[in-house]
Amino acid sequence: MKVEKKSEIRFPYSEKVLEHFRNPHNVGKMENPDGKGLEGSPACGDMVAVYIKVKPETKVIEDVKFESYGCASNIATGSVITDIARGKTLEEAKKITWKQASEELGGLPPIKAHCSVLAVEGLRAAIRDYEEKHGLVTEKEPTTEEVVRRRLKHVMNPLTGLDIIRTDLILKITVVDGTVRVVVDLPSDHQFASAIKEDIMEKLGSLWDVKSVEVVFTA
Ligand code: FES
């Protein structure tokens, strides 16, 4: 009985997925990237980081790398989308979708769609980061608590691997006259306190109408 069941088990990935998983392209950390995106998946808690180098005159992605703390689907998608993104303009690269990546990989099991989405969101976050740092974001949405909350979904809580909003690490957010105040549910001498603070400052400091960011710890 057991033997019969075992013989029914099939590896759910296409050859192409396995090939990119075993030998992923463009893997690694980039020193001094022009744009950096870090995304976490609410579905599984995995993370992906994407780095881009952009030619300022043409806005062409000259180099792109990724680091994945996800599964085979995530690594294979990261490999494929970074291949596709290299040499594209930011506008073209924004249009890369997880479906396109999945097709390129010969399909992914439906349960693994979120892994592919995660890699694509990492690339988009890196592009967005570049655009914000270079004043290319045209819509000037005023910074509200909601905007801050959305931004903080891109700051990871290293204790869990999920972001600091979903893990209820943020007790309070206030925005008054361009000053954003964020209260974090951690003591200031916690081992991750300074890394989290730095990440929050970086994510909020680039908002167009924010003059200062205060990160307050509970003790
Ligand atoms: Fe988390 Fe695939 S299961 S990235």
Adjacency order of strands within the sheet including 170-176:
170-176, 179-184, 212-217
| Ligand 1 centroid, distance to 216 Cα (angstroms) | 33
44 is catalytic: yes
| Ligand 1 centroid, distance to 60 Cα (angstroms) | 29
Looking at the domain assignment, is residue 155 inside a domain? yes
Looking at the domain assignment, is residue 10 inside a domain? no
71 is catalytic: no
Number of Cβ within 10 Å of residue 199's Cβ equals 19
Kindly indicate the confidence band of residue 111, based on its pLDDT and cuts at 50, 70 and 90.
confident
Ligand 1 nearest-atom number relative to CA 48: 4
3-state secondary structure of 167: coil
Residues 181, 199: contact at Cβ < 8 Å?
Answer: no
Give the integer Cα–Cα distance in Å for 174 and 182. 7
Kindly indicate the confidence band of residue 39, based on its pLDDT and cuts at 50, 70 and 90.
confident
Looking at the domain assignment, is residue 47 inside a domain? yes
In this predicted model, what pLDDT tens digit does every residue of 147-206 receive, in sequence order? 999 889 888 888 777 788 888 999 999 999 999 999 999 999 999 999 999 989 988 988
Number of Cβ within 10 Å of residue 156's Cβ equals 22
CA atoms within 13 A on the CB side of 214: 13
Q: Is the CB of 71 under 6 A from ligand 1?
A: yes
Residues 76 and 158 in one domain: no
Residues 168 and 212 in one domain: yes
3-state secondary structure of 180: strand
In this predicted model, what pLDDT tens digit does every residue of 62-75 receive, in sequence order? 999 999 989 999 99
Question: Per-residue pLDDT for 4 more than 60?
Answer: no
Mean pLDDT, residues 55-83: 96
Instruction: Quote the pTM value.
Output: 0.74
Query: Who contacts 10 (Cβ-Cβ below 8 Å, separation ≥6)?
Result: none
Residues 126 and 41 in one domain: yes
Q: Is the CB of 35 under 6 A from ligand 1?
A: no
Number of domains in the chain: 2
Looking at the domain assignment, is residue 125 inside a domain? yes
Residues 123 and 149 in one domain: no
Q: Is the CB of 120 under 6 A from ligand 1?
A: no
Catalytic residue among 18, 44, 201, 210: 44
Ligand 1 nearest-atom number relative to CA 73: 2
Domain that holds residue 100: 15-133
Q: Is the CB of 41 under 6 A from ligand 1?
A: yes
Best of 44, 66, 156 to mutate for ligand 1, by most ligand atoms within 8 A of CB?
44
Looking at the domain assignment, is residue 26 inside a domain? yes
CATH number at residue 209: 3.30.300.130
